[in-house]
Structure formats: structure tokens, C-alpha cells
């Protein structure tokens, strides 16, 4: 069985998106700068390798409704060529796209992860969005955290690790690689 992995890019000061997130600015003001490593991946083997590995090992995605709402126009498809499960309070029919289907899950993060794991088979489930990521981490359901640290201080926006509570979450660093555009860090969540 694959792992449940939070895979996200953030600024050195902990923001995964800039301020004023909207459909017009899905990454917020200044947020696209965080993904320079993706846009420049063809210029170096490190970033390109991270992207190739991510796409090859992703079998399903769990994301929040806000991420879905602001990003669908940008993606024009599922975020990865895999089934995607949107955690929401609104009942909706499935939405078929070119590369996969969005299934809207209303009965909690555990249910969304159960469905995603079944769909992913031996591949990994990628978790997207700050709120959903925090829910999965707080619930002890996350296996790994893969962070891409962009060499920039954004100063404001959406933080990845807000609202986790005061309990310590132990991590074991398993990988560090770097490129001119990002430092790629991987951690195993110690359970």
C-alpha cells in the first residue's frame, strides 16, 4: 500500500500561498514565485527528478474545497492524472475530467483518505491544501511530509502549519536535495 504524503512548496517563512487568494490569483499575490522550481524544472535534473518521481508515484489526491474552487480554472483538470477527492460540506455529483474524476466527500477526512487509498492501490495519496493538510496531520493519518522550500520570504499569506495545536509531532528527516530554485526536504512522521 502507498503512503499518505503532504507534498507542498512553501516560502522560507512558512507560507504556501501569498495573500488575497482568489480564482484570479489561486496562489495569492506573489504566490506563483513559490513554484519557480517547477517552471524551471527542465533546466536542472534535481527539480525535474522530483516532479517525475511525484507524478510516477501519485495514485490519488485529497484536497480541500477551497483549493478545488480557486485552482480548477488554472488546472483545467485534476491536479495529477489520478482520482481526486475533495473534502467539502456540500453534496455534489462527481466531476469527470480528462485525467481523472473529482469525488466530493462530505463525511470527513478519514473517509476521504479511505476512498483515496482504495483508488491509489500501491501508489501514494497526495494531500493538498493547508486546512486539509492540517486535519490529516492532527489526526495522525499522514505518513510523510515532502517540502519544497523556495528561497524567498513572502511575509504574509496562507501558512502551512497554522492550527496544529500544541502537541509535538515528531519527524525523521529522510532526504535533502537542493537546486538553485528549491531545497527539497522529506520527513517521515514518527507515530
pLDDT given at position 110: 96
> Which sign, positive or negative, has the C-alpha torsion 17, 21, 27, 32?
negative
pLDDT given at position 61: 97
Q: CA–CA separation, 123 vs 4, rounded Å?
A: 9
Digits of tens for pLDDT over the chain (191 positions)? 899 999 999 999 999 999 998 888 888 898 889 999 998 888 889 999 999 999 999 999 999 998 988 888 888 888 899 999 999 999 999 999 999 999 999 999 999 999 999 999 999 999 998 889 989 988 899 999 999 999 999 999 988 887 676 778 899 999 999 999 999 999 999 98
- Nearest Cα to 51, choosing from 160, 179, 151? 179
pLDDT given at position 165: 67
- For the chain, give the longest Cα–Cα distance: 44
138's enclosing H/E stretch is: helix 130-138
Which grid coordinates belong to 120? 491509489
Could you tell me if 55 and 79 are in contact, meaning their C-beta atoms sit under 8 angstroms apart? no
- Sequence-distant (6+) residues with CB within 8 A of 13 are 153, 154, 155
pLDDT given at position 35: 92
pLDDT digits (tens, 9 = 90+) for 116-158: 999 999 999 999 988 899 899 888 999 999 999 999 999 999 8
42's enclosing H/E stretch is: none
**DSSP letter assigned to residue 118:** H
Could you tell me if 183 and 11 are in contact, meaning their C-beta atoms sit under 8 angstroms apart? no
- Sequence-distant (6+) residues with CB within 8 A of 121 are 1, 2, 59
Amino acid at each position: 500500500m502507498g503512503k499518505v504524503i503532504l507534498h507542498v512548496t512553501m516560502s522560507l517563512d512558512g507560507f504556501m500561498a501569498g495573500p488575497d487568494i482568489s480564482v484570479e490569483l489561486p496562489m495569492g499575490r506573489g504566490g506563483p514565485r513559490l513554484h519557480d522550481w517547477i517552471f524551471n524544472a527542465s533546466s536542472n535534473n534535481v527539480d525535474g527528478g522530483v516532479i517525475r518521481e511525484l507524478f510516477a508515484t501519485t495514485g490519488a489526491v485529497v484536497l480541500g474545497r477551497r483549493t478545488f474552487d480557486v485552482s480548477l480554472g488554472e488546472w483545467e483538470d485534476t491536479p495529477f492524472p489520478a482520482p481526486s477527492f475533495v473534502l467539502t460540506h456540500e453534496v455534489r455529483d462527481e466531476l469527470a475530467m480528462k485525467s481523472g474524476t473529482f469525488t466530493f466527500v462530505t463525511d470527513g477526512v478519514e473517509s476521504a483518505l479511505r476512498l483515496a487509498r482504495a483508488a491509489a492501490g500501491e501508489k501514494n495519496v497526495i494531500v493538498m491544501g493547508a486546512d486539509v493538510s492540517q486535519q490529516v496531520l492532527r489526526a495522525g493519518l499522514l505518513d510523510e511530509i515532502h517540502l519544497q522550500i523556495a528561497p524567498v520570504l513572502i511575509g504574509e499569506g496562507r501558512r502551512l502549519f497554522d492550527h496544529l495545536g500544541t502537541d509535538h509531532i515528531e519527524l525523521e528527516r529522510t532526504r535533502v536535495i537542493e537546486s538553485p530554485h528549491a531545497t527539497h526536504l522529506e520527513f517521515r512522521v514518527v507515530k
